């Protein structure tokens, strides 16, 4: 049961959702805000940070596109309309603006109230800084960003309660000092709290907890269809094969539920064993004149890698006699269609 309708989303929430304002979690939140079931509060600090991260990610994507065009230029000479479209020039300024507008539109659709920092308590922030109180720590003294947004938020709510949604443990420590700041470590969990008002939610959760093996199988099938590739300084090293060692499911949260279907999200930890083979530079021959190492053999690394994913689960079901029956489950993990990146080096046994 929710203690308040007011919800503050930290920048980390948007980053965790890959700045995809149309994904299941952010869409569910937007719907609840539009229906005035929740009230989204933000700050100028978060707004500016998200805009900057959108600009950075857009630049990275545009740079990657330029690299692709350069390396794939021979494909542009083929008589293929689908391939030719990949080489069209983009207006970078327009691309940046469209990316930022997607965030602005999202805030508008959430009926977001943005809190300015013009009334923050600077003395309180300085006291916390010199006394090393949250959000300041001994190891990190550059947390003025958190201090400013939290001071802005506290001043705005003026003694009322608000959910602070973030994966930032420093913010959690700060919220522990004030019972009006209710910390939640993910947006999906916050939405799940709201969904508990629906009597079917607990029944659906019970059903899904009994379907863990089925869900593990569906997630495994999804991962097995992914392209796993190596991106490291070990030049020309490629993933030979991979296998799934385990799939653990935790924290099932209901984002939306109706008479016939529901959208659910679950945390999944997946452990892959990856075999990567590449040139054996350790036993290669360095040519001073050419300035390169000539290799004659290959070497192989086998490493285990942990991945934490949020898994979207669509459930279509019948509800009879206070129970969920005849359910059909579909799972999806954002961005896995792009492949799964590993970084395995020739001389490192541990992945990190």
pLDDT tens digits, one per residue of 286-344:
888 778 888 889 999 999 999 999 999 999 999 887 888 889 999 999 878 889 999 99
How far CA 178 is from CA of 20, 119, 126, 162, 246, in Å, comes to 32, 19, 18, 11, 40
Supply φ then ψ for residue 318, to 5 degrees: -105, 150
- Residue 352: per-residue pLDDT: 42
Q: pTM for the full model?
A: 0.79
The answer to whether residue 352 sits within a structural domain is no
> Do 307 and 241 share a structural domain?
yes
For the chain, the domain total comes to 2
> pLDDT tens-digit profile of 132-149?
777 776 665 557 777 888
Quick: pLDDT tens for 71-102.
Answer: 777 777 677 766 667 777 778 889 999 999 99
CB 342 within 8 A of CB 351: yes
CATH number, position 28: 3.40.50
CA distance 93 to 287: 45
Identify whether 321 is part of a domain.
yes
Q: Look at residue 115 and tell me if it is in a domain.
A: yes
- Identify whether residues 167 and 224 lie together within a single domain: no
Please check whether residues 338 and 239 belong to one and the same domain: yes
Please tell me whether residues 183 and 35 are part of one structural domain: yes
23 belongs to a structural domain: yes
Mark whether 187 and 41 lie in a shared domain. Answer: yes
Based on the domain organization, do 126 and 22 belong to the same domain?
Answer: yes
User: Rounded distance, CA 113 to CA 351, Å?
Assistant: 42
Look at residue 230 and tell me whether its pLDDT is greater than 90: yes
Same domain assignment for residues 179 and 273: no
Same domain, 163 and 42: yes
- From 191, 217, 244, the end of a domain falls on 191
Q: Which domain holds residue 81?
A: 6-191
Position 351 in a domain = no
Residue 128 buriedness (CB in 10 A; 0-12 / 13-18 / 19+): buried
175 shares its domain with 44: yes
Looking at the fold, whether 136 and 253 belong to one and the same domain comes out as no
Q: How many residues in the chain?
A: 352
Q: Is residue 19 part of a domain?
A: yes
Q: Can you give the pLDDT at residue 31?
A: 95
């Amino acid at each position: 049961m929710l203690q308040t309708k007011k919800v503050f989303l930290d920048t980390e929430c948007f980053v965790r959702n890959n700045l995809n304002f149309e994904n299941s979690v952010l869409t569910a939140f937007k719907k609840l805000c539009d229906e005035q079931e929740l009230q989204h509060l933000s700050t100028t600090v978060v707004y500016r940070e998200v805009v900057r991260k959108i600009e950075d990610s857009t630049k990275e994507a545009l740079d990657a596109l330029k690299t692709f065009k350069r390396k794939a230029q021979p494909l542009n000479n083929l008589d293929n309309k689908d391939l030719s479209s990949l080489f069209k020039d983009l207006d970078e300024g327009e691309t940046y603006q469209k990316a930022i507008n997607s965030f602005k539109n999202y805030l508008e659709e959430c009926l977001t109230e943005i809190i300015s920092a013009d009334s923050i308590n600077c003395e309180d922030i300085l006291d916390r800084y010199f006394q090393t109180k949250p959000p300041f720590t001994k190891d990190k003294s550059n947390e003025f960003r958190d201090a400013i947004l939290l001071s802005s938020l506290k001043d705005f709510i003026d003694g009322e309660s608000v959910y602070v949604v973030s994966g930032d443990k420093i913010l959690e420590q700060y919220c522990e000092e004030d019972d009006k700041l209710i910390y939640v470590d993910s947006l999906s969990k916050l939405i799940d709290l709201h969904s508990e008002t629906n009597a079917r939610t607990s029944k659906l959760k019970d059903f899904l907890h009994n379907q863990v093996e089925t869900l593990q199988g569906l997630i495994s099938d999804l991962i097995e269809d992914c392209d796993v590739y190596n991106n490291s300084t070990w030049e020309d090293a490629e993933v030979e094969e991979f296998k799934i060692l385990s799939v653990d499911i935790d924290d099932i949260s209901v984002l939306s539920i109706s008479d016939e279907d529901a959208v659910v999200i679950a945390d999944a930890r997946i452990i892959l064993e990856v075999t990567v083979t590449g040139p054996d530079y350790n036993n290669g021959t360095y040519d001073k004149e050419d300035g390169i190492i000539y290799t004659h053999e290959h070497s192989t690394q086998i490493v285990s890698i942990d991945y934490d994913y949020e898994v979207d689960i669509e459930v279509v079901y019948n509800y009879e006699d206070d129970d969920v029956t005849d359910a059909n489950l579909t799972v999806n993990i954002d961005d896995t269609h792009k492949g799964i990146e590993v970084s395995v080096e020739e001389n490192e046994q541990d992945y990190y």
